[in-house]
């Protein structure tokens, strides 16, 4: 599936608050935007999209973002000042560099020579398939850093090469995580794996948290219950909760899958677990 290069010239179109978009991606993992692709007509949903900053202002030109095309191309009226009909795709941007931090054409031309980066104009150019590995490598080496060491920045590997765990702002909320772990402890709710037991001090208090109900199914007035809505999961079980399904598997489903495969460790409620529950109740009473 061919990747596409989107052009953005802030002098001609500056319809979004770029810093706010970066913040939203940090909180939710993506930002959905309609993008003009000129006259190009062969864009498929699921294609990777690379955002190239154009113009000659103080920021300079360069590669600044990555996303995924979420729709087939379609026709729609342009803004009033532009007039006429243009072709668009919906793009979910999932990684952006700050203005001034874009990867310049000099680096791109050396590492990805199959694209005329110095002369790139317009929006909607297809990335030559032979150039994709080089562009992934450049983005991996010069692009954004992952917020956590176990996470992978979108665009650093070809789509399909890895399985990504989709996280949401509730799973990233520090206060919700603190209360969740105070109540449930830091062992995986499915397989009982403990990073502290296995790795000692370097694994203390380390575990991912998982939202048991898909956020897409929650209403606008939803209020997080960290004890009922969040559970601690190790990276393996977290991946299996999301793998190949739109609605995540439940803790019970995952435990049954492990049992069916021939292994399910027992869990013992010890004094430390009871103390964690008491601590959670004290935290809640102080809120």
DSSP state of 143: S
Q: How far apart are the first and last CA of the chain?
A: 50
Rounded Cα gap, residues 122 and 124, in angstroms: 7
* Residue 287 CA neighbour count, 13 Å, CB half: 12
Max distance between CA atoms of the chain, in angstroms, equals: 71
Close Cβ partners of 15 (under 8 Å, ≥ 6 residues apart): 79
CB 222 within 8 A of CB 168: no
The pTM is what?
0.60
Q: DSSP labels for 2-71?
A: -EEEEEE-TTT---S-HHHHHHHHHHHS-EEEEEE-TT-----TT-EEEEEE-S-STT-SEEEEEEEE-S
Q: List the pLDDT tens digit at each of the 287 positions of the chain.
A: 789 999 998 887 777 888 999 988 887 778 889 888 876 567 788 889 999 999 756 568 999 999 999 888 888 776 655 566 778 889 989 999 999 999 999 999 999 998 999 888 888 889 999 999 999 999 999 998 876 665 678 888 765 554 555 555 555 667 888 888 889 999 999 999 999 999 999 888 889 898 887 665 666 677 778 888 889 999 899 889 888 777 888 899 999 998 887 765 555 555 665 666 666 666 656 65
pLDDT of residue 136: 92
Query: What residue ranges do the domains of the chain occupy?
Result: 3-142, 169-286
CB 257 within 8 A of CB 245: no
The fold of 3-142 is: ph1033 like fold (3.10.590)
CB 140 within 8 A of CB 107: no
pLDDT of residue 51: 96
CB 29 within 8 A of CB 167: yes
CB 138 within 8 A of CB 24: no
Q: Radius of gyration of the chain from Cα atoms?
A: 23
Close Cβ partners of 73 (under 8 Å, ≥ 6 residues apart): 37, 40, 41, 42, 43, 87, 88, 89
Rounded Cα gap, residues 200 and 233, in angstroms: 18
Rounded Cα gap, residues 126 and 221, in angstroms: 42
How far is the CA of 14 from the CAs of 18, 52, 70, 252, in angstroms?
9, 14, 22, 48
Cβ-count burial 101-116 (b if 16+ within 10 Å, e if not): ebbebebbeebbeebe
Question: Within a 10 A sphere around the Cβ of 131, how many other Cβ atoms?
Answer: 18
């Amino acid at each position: 599936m061919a990747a596409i290069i989107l052009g953005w010239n802030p002098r001609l179109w500056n319809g979004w608050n770029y810093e706010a978009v970066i913040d939203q991606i940090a909180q939710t993992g993506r930002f959905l935007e309609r993008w003009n692709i000129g006259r190009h007509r062969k864009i498929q949903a699921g294609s990777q999209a690379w955002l190239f900053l154009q113009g000659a202002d103080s920021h300079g030109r360069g590669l600044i973002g990555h996303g995924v095309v979420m729709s087939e191309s379609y026709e729609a009226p342009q803004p009033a000042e532009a007039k006429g009909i243009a072709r668009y795709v919906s793009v979910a941007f999932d990684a952006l560099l700050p203005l001034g931090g874009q990867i310049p054409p000099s680096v791109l031309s050396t590492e990805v020579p199959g694209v005329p980066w110095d002369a790139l104009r317009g929006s909607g150019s297809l990335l030559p398939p032979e150039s994709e590995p080089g562009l992934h490598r450049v983005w991996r080496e010069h692009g954004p850093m992952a917020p956590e060491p176990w996470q992978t920045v979108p665009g650093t590997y070809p789509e399909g090469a890895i399985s990504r765990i989709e996280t949401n702002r509730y799973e990233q909320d520090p206060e919700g995580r603190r209360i969740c772990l105070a109540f449930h402890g830091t062992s995986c709710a499915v397989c009982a794996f403990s990073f502290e037991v296995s790795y000692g001090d370097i694994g203390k208090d380390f575990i991912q948290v998982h939202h048991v109900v898909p956020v897409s199914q929650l209403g606008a007035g939803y209020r997080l219950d960290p004890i009922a809505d969040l559970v601690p999961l190790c990276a393996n079980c977290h991946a299996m909760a999301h793998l190949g399904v739109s609605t995540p598997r439940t803790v019970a489903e995952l435990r049954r899958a492990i049992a069916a495969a021939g292994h399910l460790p027992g869990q013992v409620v010890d004094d430390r677990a009871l103390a964690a529950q008491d601590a959670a109740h004290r935290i809640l009473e102080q809120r």
